[in-house]
Structure 1
Amino acid sequence: MKREGTFCLVLHSHLPWLAHHGAWPVGEEWLYQAWAHSYLPVVDMLRRFADEGRTDVLTLGVTPVLAAQLDDPYCLRGAHDWLGNWHLRAQYAGPRLRELSAYEHRAATWSLEQFETHWRHGFSPLLRALTDSSTIELLGGPATHPFQPLLDPRIRDFALRTGLADTALRLGSAPEGIWAPECGYSPGMEHDYARAGVRRFMVDGPAMHGDTSSARPVGDSDVLAFGRDLEVSYRVWSPKVGYPGDPAYRDFHTYDHPTGLKPARVTGKNVAPHEKRPYEPALASVALERHVADFVETVVRRLRAVDGGLIVAAYDTELFGHWWHEGPQWLEAVLRALPEAGVHVTTLRGAVDAGHVGTPIELPASSWGTGKDWRVWDGAQVSDIVSLNTQVQRELLELDFSGEVRDPVLDQAVREALLALSSDWAFMVTKDSAADYARYRAKIHSDRFSELATLFRSGRGHARASELRAADGPFGHLDARSLRPN
């Protein structure tokens, strides 16, 4: 069979720190929905590929702040309770929505079995098995997913090293590649990456001037940038023509409010919720087959256009199952169909080993957000958050990190600062997605940081730091003294 070229699928798994910060409609509910509908089926798929002896199936980014939640005992208990509640809701729907009730009951039963069999000790044992077997390549990142170009270099370096160290503690070694949060880049960051041991990272296609057919060393460094191919990625991702909008697929936004289940199919873009048709899995399966074939054809066509080079498609993991109900089935079908079409499926690491490395490139300031610039995180709409972040960074760098021993008050102050600097809050405001919640989260972490900073300077605050650590406690290894100037 003719080898058409190389394809890399990159999945970016990320949610901000949600534990102890509200439940519905955003907060812990968001975490548990993504856990049930995306992480469980995607990991099950990868485990089955591992059992088959498949290697370098895909590149999986897992942000440290998400990994912390998927290992956290409080979150594990909460996820188990949520799955049990889903099981009960499916039963409760029976008299009114008989077919939906049976469908959801089977799904909830399977999910409970998966969780109780494989997940009760957290995500890290599962993830380590997948990396040790080379089924996947893992990408890490900065601790709380901050928009790095807007950080002071000292804080940017600390956030990255804290995130890499966290992954190393969970899995035994630090990843060589990262998903740069929001694909945010500013010239010179490649040298920061090199010093931290990062050898490759993701940017969006336009940052590479549209030529994403190979990895490229950035500037005079040995750090490689991989660019997302937009033509291929948008077959799925585009809100206008992407597969999840097909009339046969389950509609994400339409709920049966007594049970919280989703009974309708998309039906049409301009169809009111009460007019949408009932979901029919058989119709969705027909659409799925069509979209698998279309994606494979698109990849092969693009590979021929780049003379058998490299195509990288990248998506949020949460798209598959959480946002797009049929996504996990599509994902597995595509990963099985592409090799049958003569496409070499591998990881970013595998693409380097296969020789898909081009000439050096100078990257512009960029992101994968609207306009491919920084406006989502630095625009007028989020000027309040930008101002808050600037204030947090200024006060953080003024603290005294010269102590001979760790100080729990200082450590928790830094932890709250990192949570305040998460890129999610500005993104949610700009996109008008739970904007009030996002502003609340940015403000509460900023306020808690300032409170602890004041207590630290006065030599007090151990009780308050312990109280806040119970709610905001990721990265127990975090040592604030690492922020001291060189």
Structure 2
Amino acid sequence: MNTRLTLILNTHMPQVLGEGPLFDEPENWLFEALTETYLPLFRMLERWDSRRFAGTLVMSFTPCLVDQLVACEERYTGYLQLLRRIATRELERTSRLDLYNRYEKFPQSLSDEALARVHRTAGMYLRRVEDSLAFLREHSLRDVFATLGRSRLPGVQLWTSTPQHNFLPFFQPAIADRLVARGVESFQDVFGREPDGLWLPECAFQPGLERVLTRHGIHRTALSLTGIGASQPQDPSGVFRHEDLEVLVHDYRIGLYLWKSPESTYPAHPVYREFFRDVGFDLRPEYFEELGVPVPANKRGHVWTGLKYHAVSGQKVDLGQKALYDVDAARAQVPQHVRAFWDLLESRRSLVQDGQTFVLAFDTELFGHWWHEGVDWLEGVMQPAAPLELAATPPAPPPEPPSLPRLYYSTWGRDFYSEHWLTPGNAWMYALIKLVEAQLPEPVDAETRETWRRFEVFSGSDLLFMIPDPTQRDRARALFLARYADVVSRLKDFSTELLTSFPVDPFKCVLIHVSKAGGQEQPPFLLRRLSLEGVNTEARRELTLDAEVLEVAGLRVAFQYFLLHPQGRYALRVEGSEREHVFQMPDYGVPLLIAPDTRTYPKYDPEVLYRKLGEIWEGDQRLPLKLNPTLRSRHMYTRAQVMEVLAGKRTAVFKYNKEGYALLRFRDRGPAPACVVFDDSVSLSDAGAYIQAGELSVPVVNDPADIARHDFDAVVFTCSLNFETEVPHVRALLEVATRKRLPVVSLYDDILYYDLFDGLEPDPDLFWRVAVPEQDALAKPGLAEYGPRNLLGVFGTDTVQGKFTTQVYLREALAKHVRVRHHATEPTGILLGSDTGYSRVLRVEGPQRLAFERRLMAGLARDCDLVITGGQNGLLYTPAGLDRRANASTLIYETFLPRLVVLTVSVDTKPEDVVATREYLEMLAREHDVPCTVVGLAMMGGRKLLGSRWTETWFLGVRDEVLEEARRKMEQHTGLRVHAIPEEVDALAQSVLTHL
């Protein structure tokens, strides 16, 4: 199989173009990047041959950078002329040792060979300066961009970004919309056409931005892996689709081999050029004075020239001990790293969803500027020098990208949220940005548009990013305050007070109050939870929080970080004021940390955090639970009861969790197929996209107002109420069901326990819960002896999917040969053809529950050849504070004691977990003195991806070769045959039959 690479280069430079002396930072950053990165890349694009590269090169240009490049030619030419003077002198100085040491701060004893090496390096720099000057004589940089826009090179995409690399989740939706629009307009002005996509600065995304992008004609962007809900080591990256947006998912696991990685990273190879040791630091200041090169006083003795004579030598080698750079050795190493890169991709095919399309994103300046040999490496990867007739045959077009049901708040920074861009050190800057943002005028004329332009510069992400660096903090602070004063001077009736908030990650929020400096002490924050509708419908606890205070620019900025519920809605005020700021936290997402070995670890344990939140908000009831409910639903747990209630109905399902997609996957096996799914977060034109099942003609709707517009005859609730965001949908469904007298089935909690009817009078006879009532459990005594021999149990080895799905497929396959009954320990089963199904026996103690369940199983076993049942969680799962014997699957096994067992695995299951599960089962069987045979393993051909909460997951299909490799390793390690489900369910059924 061929390998495709989509390489995204984020080309951006802060507003650094100056008017003062040359060689004064940070303007050097721009000119060094031009010389070492941008011009070499433009040269490469002039030679571009799409037949040599089957992938895609994405070059994203921020308007901020483009404007500087178009305006800098005169200053850049002057810089190059000074640099040519230095490089020419260096070529002379490195020709003799006495000349070389004349201006060295620390003279060296170099051999003739070492001096010759330095001389060759000096010659390389002089040639590069001459080539840059030649480029400017041949091209106008404005014309370069216009030519790129017109040429539409095959395999090359040109993207835009926000004007000043503005971090979009920081802004109100209307402001973010304007910033995206300005990015598109700026691109059109320079490149003469629409952009092919938009780079979200720092890959920073929050739900809702996808609509902003498509509204402005952007149908392609890039996200980090966490942006699609991925959290496991093997979750796939690649190209996906979310509604009208193509999402290119950057794989940091591979990207770390080129950037911010351990010592194994390519740019850290010892022979490559060292970035941080510059000639301008090694030479005495008199050198530049005699050469007539003006150096600002604050840069004397440590000016960045871009001329560097030393090699990386090793990560632990001090700068003063670095070996001399060898141009030829470095060039010889590049092809080896080109080959190593393709070998790396080949070995990581399982990490991409189609097995061939890798997506990697980098700051463009990595190549050439930071990693001196990086542009040569890029050209070796994308434009191999082999004759065209020997070039690889381009691979076939990749399949249609999988559809993503939703996207999540994410960045590509530390822990994949906004912690690096919003810190205790720069929260005051964010406060001033929000203070100005709240008072921006509409851009209706030249004056107000100029105010907006200055706000764009003021609110760019770069100064926020620089603050944590102590070497840049003072400059960033001064420049930020100057830009703040500039914008404020243009605002009429400027108010100096603001109350706002911003999420750092799904659990942590910064609360901010801005007011005039001086006067009374800062009043404390008062924080209160609200219902989803934003009103205080019941008594809610109000917390008092002291703030950290900083005085800046004549203002007092108070801020406090605090732990809040994901998707929770809150009201914030300060003591003594009635003004409130209402806000909602982002979705749960998957905060992760990257270890030096590139593995990821969860930043938080959700269960621990929710317990902590419960302690913080003690007494604050999240859901409208009746304290003393008087109404009770009726109960069902047999097929006959289900048929009486639901047969022939068209069902509305809430919501699209694992139970919901089971009802959709097996909808033809149920008495009341779903015709619509309602969900508080997911919206899809067709529910099949959620489970990769093709067209089902079942929409997924997340607007409660749409519920009354759909036609259905029954309602099924697949979950208990867990989150406030679910309440409006449940309430709307109950209103329709009560008014139309539709049957309502709840798989778990009694829905009548909740105070959701707002004056309606529900009829308990219409409400059903899948459970066993106490009177049924207590009706008969226990069995004197229990020992059915025709029981098959399906159990999980870890948290993998497939236990219930395997039961259903296996039930259908075995029914072709023998009489089969099915007892589902998941309540969903009773709606999908099982004979009995429930997860709970209500208000009955352990011995009586055991007696009932065994009596029920014995009755099923008498009338058939085989009964299928199964577990709920993994057999190895250890509940918090308990041991694995307390997990639900162990309890189910010890209740029914099946003689035959099928274990479910996935492509990500560790073989050692299967071995441990088998040993655990054998131990339990010995304790109960019963036989237990593991018939085989059932492998679902998909990967589980986390949804927005612990109650929600969705599955992404995997390729045949991934499945086959996982199967091979599993069979080799465990000695058990692996059956792909559903493709090989008949073979699994035959294995069961041979053991009956």
Query: Does residue 359 of structure 2 align to residue 325 of structure 1?
Result: no
Report 1:104-119 matches (<5 A).
104-119=125-140
Aligned to 1:86: 83
CA contact (8 A) 2:50 2:154 kept: no
Structure 1 residues 344 and 452: alpha-carbon distance in aligned structure 2, compared to 1, 3 A threshold: farther
CA contact (8 A) 2:205 2:227 kept: no
1:15 alignment partner, one of 13, 16, 19: 13
Give CA-to-partner distance per residue, 1:349-379, whole Å, 9 cap, x none.
xx9x743410223222110111110111122
Give CA-to-partner distance per residue, 1:299-337, whole Å, 9 cap, x none.
122236545242101111111111111111011111145
How far has the Cα of 1:187 moved from its partner?
1.3
Structure 1 residues 7 and 343: alpha-carbon distance in aligned structure 2, compared to 1, 3 A threshold: farther
CA contact (8 A) 1:215 1:356 kept: no
1:310 alignment partner, one of 347, 357, 369: 357
Find the residue that maps to 2:8 and give its secondary structure. strand
Structure 1 residues 433 and 148: alpha-carbon distance in aligned structure 2, compared to 1, 3 A threshold: farther
| Structural RMSD (CA) | 2.7
> Greater CA deviation, 28-37 or 203-212?
203-212
Query: Does residue 436 of structure 2 align to residue 392 of structure 1?
Result: yes
Aligned to 2:340: 294
Aligned to 2:330: 284
Structure 1 residues 432 and 11: alpha-carbon distance in aligned structure 2, compared to 1, 3 A threshold: farther
How far has the Cα of 1:388 moved from its partner?
1.7
Q: Which amino acid aligns with 2:88?
A: Q
Task: Quote the Cα distance in structure 2 between the aligned partners of 1:323 and 1:106.
Answer: 19
Q: Which amino acid aligns with 2:454?
A: E
Aligned to 2:26: 27
Give CA-to-partner distance per residue, 1:115-170, whole Å, 9 cap, x none.
2212355542342244x233511111121110000111111111110110111121
Query: Does residue 271 of structure 2 align to residue 233 of structure 1?
Result: no
Task: Quote the Cα distance in structure 2 between the aligned partners of 1:5 and 1:247.
Answer: 29
Task: Quote the Cα distance in structure 1 between the aligned partners of 2:76 and 2:199.
Answer: 26
CA contact (8 A) 2:5 2:55 kept: no
Report 1:432-447 matches (<5 A).
432=470, 434-447=472-485
Report 1:60-99 matches (<5 A).
60-72=59-71, 75-98=72-95, 99=119
Aligned to 1:169: 189
> Greater CA deviation, 359-368 or 321-330?
359-368
The alignment's TM-score, normalised by the length of structure 1, stands at 0.83
Structure 1 residues 52 and 334: alpha-carbon distance in aligned structure 2, compared to 1, 3 A threshold: closer
Question: Which structure would you say has the larger Rg?
Answer: 2
Give CA-to-partner distance per residue, 1:173-218, whole Å, 9 cap, x none.
2213111111001112111112111101111123231644442233
Find the residue that maps to 2:93 and give its secondary structure. coil
Task: Quote the Cα distance in structure 1 between the aligned partners of 2:143 and 2:29.
Answer: 18
CA contact (8 A) 2:458 2:484 kept: yes
Task: Quote the Cα distance in structure 1 between the aligned partners of 2:333 and 2:459.
Answer: 41
CA contact (8 A) 2:52 2:391 kept: no
Report 1:94-243 matches (<5 A).
94-98=91-95, 99=119, 100-119=121-140, 121-130=142-151, 132-208=152-228, 209=230, 211-218=235-242, 221-240=243-262, 241-243=264-266
Task: Quote the Cα distance in structure 1 between the aligned partners of 2:453 and 2:70.
Answer: 18
Specify every segment of 5 or more residues in structure 2 that has no aligned partner in the other structure, as ranges: 96-118, 289-304, 496-996
2:489 alignment partner, one of 448, 451, 464: 451
Report 1:354-373 matches (<5 A).
354-373=398-417
Q: Which amino acid aligns with 2:438?
A: R
CA contact (8 A) 1:413 1:448 kept: no
Structure 1 residues 454 and 318: alpha-carbon distance in aligned structure 2, compared to 1, 3 A threshold: same
How far has the Cα of 1:441 moved from its partner?
2.5
Task: Quote the Cα distance in structure 2 between the aligned partners of 1:305 and 1:418.
Answer: 38
Find the residue that maps to 2:256 and give its secondary structure. helix
How far has the Cα of 1:294 moved from its partner?
0.9
CA contact (8 A) 2:58 2:158 kept: yes
Aligned to 1:43: 42
Q: Which amino acid aligns with 1:363?
A: L
Aligned to 1:256: 279
> Greater CA deviation, 116-125 or 416-425?
116-125
Task: Quote the Cα distance in structure 2 between the aligned partners of 1:69 and 1:168.
Answer: 16
CA contact (8 A) 2:463 2:476 kept: yes
Q: Which amino acid aligns with 1:105?
A: L
Task: Quote the Cα distance in structure 1 between the aligned partners of 2:141 and 2:343.
Answer: 40
Q: Which amino acid aligns with 2:483?
A: H
Structure 1 residues 379 and 222: alpha-carbon distance in aligned structure 2, compared to 1, 3 A threshold: same
CA contact (8 A) 1:236 1:243 kept: yes
Name the one with the larger strand percent.
2
Aligned to 1:475: none
Q: Which amino acid aligns with 1:320?
A: F
Aligned to 1:476: none
Task: Quote the Cα distance in structure 2 between the aligned partners of 1:229 and 1:135.
Answer: 20
Q: Which amino acid aligns with 1:225?
A: V
Find the residue that maps to 2:274 and give its secondary structure. coil
Task: Quote the Cα distance in structure 2 between the aligned partners of 1:91 and 1:150.
Answer: 48
Query: Does residue 418 of structure 2 align to residue 374 of structure 1?
Result: yes
Q: Which amino acid aligns with 2:276?
A: H
Task: Quote the Cα distance in structure 1 between the aligned partners of 2:204 and 2:247.
Answer: 12
CA contact (8 A) 1:4 1:304 kept: no
How far has the Cα of 1:25 moved from its partner?
4.9
Name the one with the larger helix percent.
1
Task: Quote the Cα distance in structure 2 between the aligned partners of 1:159 and 1:426.
Answer: 18
The alignment's TM-score, normalised by the length of structure 2, stands at 0.42
Task: Quote the Cα distance in structure 1 between the aligned partners of 2:398 and 2:491.
Answer: 50
The alignment-based identity, stated in percent, is 26
Structure 1 residues 151 and 120: alpha-carbon distance in aligned structure 2, compared to 1, 3 A threshold: closer
Task: Quote the Cα distance in structure 2 between the aligned partners of 1:295 and 1:338.
Answer: 16
Task: Quote the Cα distance in structure 2 between the aligned partners of 1:135 and 1:8.
Answer: 9
Structure 1 residues 296 and 431: alpha-carbon distance in aligned structure 2, compared to 1, 3 A threshold: farther
Task: Quote the Cα distance in structure 1 between the aligned partners of 2:189 and 2:55.
Answer: 23
Task: Quote the Cα distance in structure 1 between the aligned partners of 2:210 and 2:413.
Answer: 20
Find the residue that maps to 1:446 and give its secondary structure. helix
Structure 1 residues 435 and 242: alpha-carbon distance in aligned structure 2, compared to 1, 3 A threshold: farther
CA contact (8 A) 2:239 2:359 kept: no
How far has the Cα of 1:224 moved from its partner?
2.2
How far has the Cα of 1:107 moved from its partner?
1.5
Name the structure, 1 or 2, with higher relative contact order (CA <8 Å, separation 6+). 1
Find the residue that maps to 2:313 and give its secondary structure. coil
Task: Quote the Cα distance in structure 1 between the aligned partners of 2:346 and 2:385.
Answer: 9
CA contact (8 A) 1:206 1:372 kept: yes
